[in-house]
Structure 1
Amino acid sequence: MEDLLHNISQCTICKAYLPLGPRPVATAHINSKIIIIGQAPGTKVHESGIPWDDQSGKKLRQWLGITDAQFYNIENFAIIPMGFCYPGKGKTGDLPPRPECAPQWHEQLLEKMPTVELIILIGAYAQKYYLKDKAKHTLTETVGEYKSYLPNYFPIPHPSPTNRFWRAKNPWFEELIVPELQTKVKAILKIKKPHQK
């Protein structure tokens, strides 16, 4: 695994398309229990090299019901975006993740994590890539049908502040599905509720 992560950190396959240059951001461990597959790092994560080190990450950790320490424990979570480097700015936010990363690296990473119990698919790019023709026509439908992808996958929307309009329009996600997600995460990580001994 260390060799593979080192190779990823040196990856330059789409260097020509990256406005800030390559800085792949991914974390994984042979014992990782949950994999988070998001889109691509933003500028803040590009600078820090720490995945989900931004407002989106804060919201994601709230949704998962976990602490920063639990989140960044690589034996709990592997963090593998669809694109490992910041792709650049688009008209309404960042550009889509570069298409080269997932085919090049994802399968190799997944093969080295035999104890994974759940893959959380964040956003449409991850959902289309992994669910293929089982993904619904829209992200909203896919997220609403999350039970049909269990026990392997759990599709959720992106927690970015730019997605707040979707969240406002779809309050059922945070009211009904987030508690289910938290229950599942806590069970896999064996996190006890405060009143449990």
Structure 2
Amino acid sequence: MGQAAEFAALLASIRACRICRDTPHFGEKLPHEPRPVIQASPQARICIVGQAPGARVHASGRPFTDASGDRLRAWLGIGEADFYDSEKVALIPMGFCFPGNDAKGGDLPPRRECAPAWHDAVFAHLPNIELLLLIGQYAQRRYLDRSDMSGGLTRTVQDWRKIYHRPGPHRTIPLPHPSWRNSGWLKQNTWFEAELLPVLRADIGNLLS
């Protein structure tokens, strides 16, 4: 089996995954039919590791088809055509399925089964990633050094220059979640849009040009 066929088989296995419903490793089983959501191609040079699909993404089967996606694309400075081109951008959530809602109506945390089961295999097929974007604390805890996380999310994102310029196989930038619930955070941390986003957009523009 060639590499393209192997990767296609891996994506098919992820989309057929029912671990969290049939044999959950952490807590209660998923209360609804799973619908794993992922976008990836070995040609992708940008990878975004997000949190988990919300209800709208669960319904559409396409990543970031919601208000958070609109804000994220505005942050990146790209349109839907580039964002949804799997040969340009890989979209890999920490939890592949909508985790359901908590008692207050918010989304539950990403299922903990997904990343250990699938992430290593997916990244093994993504040799061309040059820029890795980590959205939220769940992705940052998995892919950053423990010392990067010692001060909470705000401190981690404030330290983006240190993380971005760190030697390694790719450049990495930590980001807050683009949820509209974080609008207050953006107002309190104006450096994010003034300092981080121009660098992020320039890097992405170079990779897509």
Question: Hey, what does 2:175 align to over in structure 1?
Answer: 156
State the Cα distance separating 1:92 from its structure 2 match: 6.4
Question: Which amino acid in the other structure matches residue 144 of structure 2?
Answer: L
- Size of the alignment, in residue pairs? 190
Which residue does the alignment assign to 1:121?
A: 134
SS of the residue 1:89 aligns to: coil
Tell me the equivalent position of 1:189. 208
Gaps in structure 2 of 5+ consecutive residues: 1-6, 23-28, 165-169
- Equivalent in the alignment of 1:15: 21
Match of 2:188 among 141, 166, 169: 169
Amino acid at match of 2:184: F
Task: Determine the C-alpha separation between the residues in 2 that align with 1:133 and 1:175.
Answer: 27
Q: Which of 78, 81, 92 matches 1:69?
A: 81
- Distance (whole Å) between structure 1 residues aligned to residue 113 and residue 77 of structure 2: 32
SS in structure 1 opposite 2:87? coil
Q: How far apart are 1:156 and its partner, in Å?
A: 0.5
Write out the 4+ residue segments of structure 1 that deviate beyond 6 Å after TM superposition: none
- Note if 1:3 corresponds to 2:9: yes
Match of 1:40 in 2: 52
For 2:58, give the aligned amino acid: H
| Alpha-carbon distance between aligned partners in 1 of 2:10 and 2:44, rounded to the nearest angstrom | 15
Query: Given the alignment of the two structures, is residue 93 of structure 1 paired with residue 106 of structure 2, yes or no?
Result: yes
Whole-angstrom CA distance in 1 between matches of 2:158 and 2:128: 27
Separation (CA, whole Å) in 2 of partners of 1:58 and 1:185: 17
Identity of aligned residues (%): 47
- The secondary structure found in structure 1 opposite 2:96 is coil
Aligned-residue Cα RMSD (Å) equals: 1.2
- TM-score of the two chains, using structure 1 as the length reference: 0.93
Structure 1 residues not aligned, in runs of 5+: 191-197
Greater shift in the superposed pair: 173-182 or 45-54: 173-182
